[in-house]
């Protein structure tokens, strides 16, 4: 959960139209907190789209811009959180690829270990 205080620094990953220029991550600071929304301003970041505050819903953390329905930003509390997200995406993609091409080439022991680990972790139930 994001520390919702004025002055909190965040890392933003542009998505959709906002990511067209492939600028990478943007650093911003919470500058205003309202009843339903909070605002993130970007100062001096060369990757920033403009120097205007970005509006986010406090509950969903979704970017709010009724004039551009395809732009978005994913919020991370730190660069470490962003890098963990990238690693998670990489691992999930590899697992999906492995299991999508299911055939007899998969080792029973390996599949059994993955299954037991997921059951033990509560990811699936028997």
- pLDDT one-digit tens code per residue, 60-109: 998 888 777 777 889 999 999 999 999 999 999 988 887 777 666 778 88
pTM over 0.85: no
Burial 24-57 (b: 16+ CB within 10 A, else e): ebbbbebbeeeeeebbbebeeeeebbeeebbbbe
* Cβ–Cβ < 8 Å for 11, 78: yes
């Amino acid at each position: 959960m994001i520390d919702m205080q004025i002055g909190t620094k965040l890392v933003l990953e542009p998505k959709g139209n906002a990511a067209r220029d492939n600028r990478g991550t943007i650093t911003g600071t919470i500058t205003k907190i309202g009843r339903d929304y909070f605002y993130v301003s970007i100062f001096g970041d060369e990757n920033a789209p403009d120097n205007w505050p970005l509006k986010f819903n406090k509950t969903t953390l979704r970017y709010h811009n009724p004039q551009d329905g395809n732009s978005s930003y994913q919020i991370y509390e730190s660069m470490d959180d962003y890098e963990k997200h990238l690693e998670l995406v990489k691992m999930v993609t590899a697992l999906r690829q492995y299991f999508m091409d299911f055939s007899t080439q998969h080792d029973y022991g390996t599949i059994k270990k993955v299954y037991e680990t997921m059951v033990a972790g509560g990811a699936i139930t028997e």
